[in-house]
């Protein structure tokens, strides 16, 4: 159709969008396999990978299959994995005592992966929720109505030292207890693990989107509900300034990397954090974010591939240097 009207414009931004090659030339944010950290779930035994119903395409893996998955990720250029154990409910108690077992499942997993794929960076979760019978991230007070901060931190420091001894590269305290980063740093240094880093879950919000993860590690069943409230220690989703305060505290206490969790719902927080720290910033695209994209795609409401890419691009554009995502393997394969 002929154009009958012409604007007299000096600036026409669409010039830069006319072809794929022009768009590539001016692209500001680029995803690459090295941007991703793959969260992986490990279980006892040699059974076939166990699918997590609420997280399509994600499995609980025995150590043998975990090693295979880590080899595949490394070949695709994914530099790191984060390991999360699912324990037999019979091993759980109110104190989360299995977290201090020197032959705990996650420690055996770390040793196996380090032996098989030494170039891969391994992160391990430092929190008690996979180990407690009540599903909280720490030990409860005598009254049972809250998590006992200082007693919990004492257990977390011992847990972190055991993980460092097993060969983990970064311990990742996700509990949100006050003072835990400084206490863990002191404990690691005192034990001779000065090279073991800390990726702190610095701005972890009390989100409603954690349900599928709680299914995956069994903390939902332990608590009797996937809707367990952790409002007394995780951040209020309404608070931006408080999130920055937490990040700066963790940085001062010795965190090597600070994290925002969740990612997609908290892009403003990622940007705020990026602007106040020179530390590397991680962001966790959590289970609920992953699952809702899959659910909408299964209903035909969204394009899975495009939404997957756009969601991760937004997180990086906001300022994240690295992204924990359950899309890590498939995205790395595509980007390569």
Q: Cite the active site residues.
A: 204, 261
Per-residue DSSP letter, 16: G
**Strand 50-51 vs strand 80-85: parallel, antiparallel, or unpaired?**
unpaired
- 281 touches 253 (CB < 8 A): no
- 233 touches 177 (CB < 8 A): yes
What would the 3-class secondary structure string for 191-253 be? CCCCCCEEEEEEEEECCCCCHHHHHHHCHHHHHCCCCCCCCCCCECCCCCHHHHHHHHHHHHH
Q: What residues does 36 pair with on adjacent strands? A: 323
Q: How far apart are CA 19 and CA 38, in angstroms?
A: 34
Q: How far apart are CA 179 and CA 157, in angstroms?
A: 11
Q: How far apart are CA 4 and CA 314, in angstroms?
A: 39
First-to-final CA distance of the chain: 41
CA dihedral 44, 47, 53, 59 (to 10 degrees): 70
Q: How far apart are CA 326 and CA 288, in angstroms?
A: 11
């Amino acid at each position: 159709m002929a154009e009958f009207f012409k604007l007299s414009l000096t600036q026409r931004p669409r010039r830069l969008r006319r072809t794929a090659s022009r768009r590539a030339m001016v692209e500001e944010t680029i995803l690459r396999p090295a941007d991703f950290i793959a969260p992986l779930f490990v279980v006892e035994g040699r059974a076939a990978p166990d699918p997590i119903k609420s997280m399509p395409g994600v499995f609980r893996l025995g150590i043998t299959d975990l090693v295979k998955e880590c080899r595949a990720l490394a070949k695709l250029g994914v530099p790191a994995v984060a390991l999360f154990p699912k324990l037999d409910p019979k091993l759980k108690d109110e104190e989360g005592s299995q977290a201090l077992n020197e032959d705990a499942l996650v420690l055996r997993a770390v040793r196996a992966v380090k032996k098989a794929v030494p170039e891969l960076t391994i992160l391990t979760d430092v929190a008690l929720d996979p180990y407690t019978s009540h599903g909280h991230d720490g030990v409860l007070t005598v009254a049972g109505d809250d998590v006992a901060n200082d007693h919990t931190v004492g257990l977390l420091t011992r847990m972190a030292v055991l993980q460092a001894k097993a060969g983990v590269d970064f311990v990742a305290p996700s509990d949100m207890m006050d003072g835990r980063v400084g206490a863990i740093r002191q404990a690691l240094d005192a034990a001779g693990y000065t090279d073991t880093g800390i990726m702190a879950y610095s701005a972890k919000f009390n989100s409603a989107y954690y349900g599928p993860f709680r299914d995956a590690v069994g903390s939902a069943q332990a608590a009797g509900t996937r809707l367990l409230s952790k409002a007394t220690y995780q951040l209020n989703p309404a608070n931006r300034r408080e999130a920055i305060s937490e990040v700066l505290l963790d940085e001062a206490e010795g965190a090597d990397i600070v994290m925002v969790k969740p990612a997609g719902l908290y892009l403003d927080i990622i940007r705020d954090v990026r602007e106040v720290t020179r530390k590397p910033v991680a962001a966790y695209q959590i289970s609920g974010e992953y699952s809702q994209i899959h659910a909408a795609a299964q209903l035909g409401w969204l394009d899975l591939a495009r939404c997957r890419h756009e969601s991760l691009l937004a997180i990086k554009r906001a300022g994240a240097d690295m992204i924990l995502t359950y899309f890590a393997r498939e995205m790395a394969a595509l980007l390569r």
